[in-house]
Amino acid sequence: MTDWSRHFDEPLPLLDGRLLRTLLDAGRYVEALPKSKQERAEWQTATHFLLMAAEGRLPVMFAHIALLKALKKGRPEKERTSTQGSEEIQDSPMKDAF
C-alpha cells in the first residue's frame, strides 16, 4: 500500500519559492516536469526513490536526497552555492556529498 502523504524531515525548497513537503508534493512536481527532463537519469532515480518511499520500502530520506541531487543538477554553479545557506555547510567536509 502506498502512502504519498509521508512528509520529508525538511521541506525541499524550489527556486520559485515553493516548498515540497510530502512525497505527493514531490511526485506532482516531477510529473509536471517536461518529458525530456523526466527522462534524465537524475530524475529517473528521484522518481524511483519516491515510489519506493511511498511504498514503505525505503526511508523518506532516500527520496529526499535523490530529489536534492536532481534539483541541484539543473542549477548553474552560482545558484547551487548561493542556496547552501551558511558558511558552516559550505565548509563542511560533506558539502560535496550531494
Beta strands in the chain (DSSP E): 7-13, 19-22
CA 48 to chain centroid, in Å, comes to 12
Instruction: Decide which of 37 and 79 is more confident.
Output: 37
User: Whole-model pTM?
Assistant: 0.75
Residues 42-69: tens digit of each pLDDT: 999 999 999 999 999 999 999 999 999 9
Residue 12 · residue 50 · CB < 8 Å: no
Judged against a pLDDT cut of 80, whether residue 27 lies above it is answered with: yes
Residue 49 identity (one-letter amino acid): F
- Supply the pLDDT for residue 90: 52
Between CA 82 and CA 32 the distance in angstroms is 25
Quick: pLDDT tens for 76-94. Answer: 666 555 555 544 445 555 5
Higher pLDDT residue, 5 or 92? 5
- Give per-residue burial for 4-33: e unless 16+ CB within 10 Å, then b: beeebeeebeeeeeeebebbbbbbebbeee
The residues spanned by each domain of the chain are: 1-8+21-36+43-75
